[in-house]
Amino acid sequence: TAWSYRAVIYIVMARYAEARHDCREFAARDGGLIAAACEPTVDALTGSAAAAYARLEQALRRNPSASASQRLWVLTRLAEIAQRLGRMQEAETRYRSALQLGIDDQYLLTAYAEFLLDLKRPAEVVELLKDKTRNDVLLLRLALAEQSLGLPAAQTHQAAIQARIDAARLRQDKLHLSDEAMFELMFRKNPQEALRLARENWDLGQREPGDARILLEAALAARQPESAEAALEWLKRNHHEDVILLRLAAELQALRGSKP
């Protein structure tokens, strides 16, 4: 429905009060699983992650006849929330349950690949994404895994990603600035350019946890903690609980304190 689509847009933009309003309107009109899961998704980003996880679990149990695609959506959100809370075994169980549904979903594959990379399990990322090279987002995660393993394919895929970035720039396409920032940071070892791209991405209204993460990582690598002030303020204002983001924020605060 229009309510659900607008709620998603508001979530991406970190306009959580508006997102919660639309989620409630959606739930008032639809008794299905996605409607029941909408508001907990907002809660998970605003200081109530554990309670949101419990509500999503309950919604899943109460909707046994939900479609496979709806179940995948909720299982992926459960995995992400568990991951943010540092409950990694739980997160992996949820990711695997979602994958077992057999749906080729880019969002799920991206989230699980990043989860595996964080756990230093790149070989599993290569196995997961080896046939997904036509997708720009997945190719980047595959190349990161190959790079960490020292595989020759990493160079080939890096060149392919650069060509696709160049093509996107010619089209003035700014939909994947966070991934471009990641490419600059992880492959080209250019934290200043990564930081510029990550800040532009944030300023364009892309304010999900992944967008915050690349901004914090780039600011840290560039040793410019003040450049990540917007993401740090977002974290604090929304009582965000992601263990990785909080660690990066603490490192930036420490860097700020060490500067003369």
* C-alpha closest to that of 151 among 142, 160, 159: 142
Give the Cα separation of 142 and 129 in Å (integer): 6
Cα four-point dihedral sign 195, 182, 241, 4: positive
Higher pLDDT, 111 or 1: 111
- Contact (Cβ atoms closer than 8 angstroms) between residue 137 and residue 106: yes
Tell me the whole-structure pTM to 2 decimals. Answer: 0.95
- Contact (Cβ atoms closer than 8 angstroms) between residue 42 and residue 54: no
Mean pLDDT (the chain) is 96
Give the Cα separation of 15 and 38 in Å (integer): 14
Predicted confidence band at 158 (pLDDT cuts at 50, 70, 90)? Answer: very high
* C-alpha closest to that of 208 among 253, 180, 242, 182: 242
Question: What is the reported pLDDT for 259?
Answer: 65
Give the H/E segment covering residue 236: helix 229-237
Question: What is the reported pLDDT for 153?
Answer: 97
* C-alpha closest to that of 130 among 116, 143, 120, 121: 143
Cα four-point dihedral sign 246, 251, 254, 256: negative
Predicted confidence band at 78 (pLDDT cuts at 50, 70, 90)? Answer: very high
Radius of gyration of the chain (CA): 19
pLDDT tens digits for range 106-128:
999 999 999 999 999 999 999 99
* C-alpha closest to that of 38 among 48, 26, 49, 29: 26
pLDDT tens digits for range 129-153:
999 999 999 999 999 999 999 999 9
pLDDT tens digits for range 241-254:
999 999 999 999 99
Give the Cα separation of 14 and 209 in Å (integer): 10
Give the Cα separation of 202 and 92 in Å (integer): 29
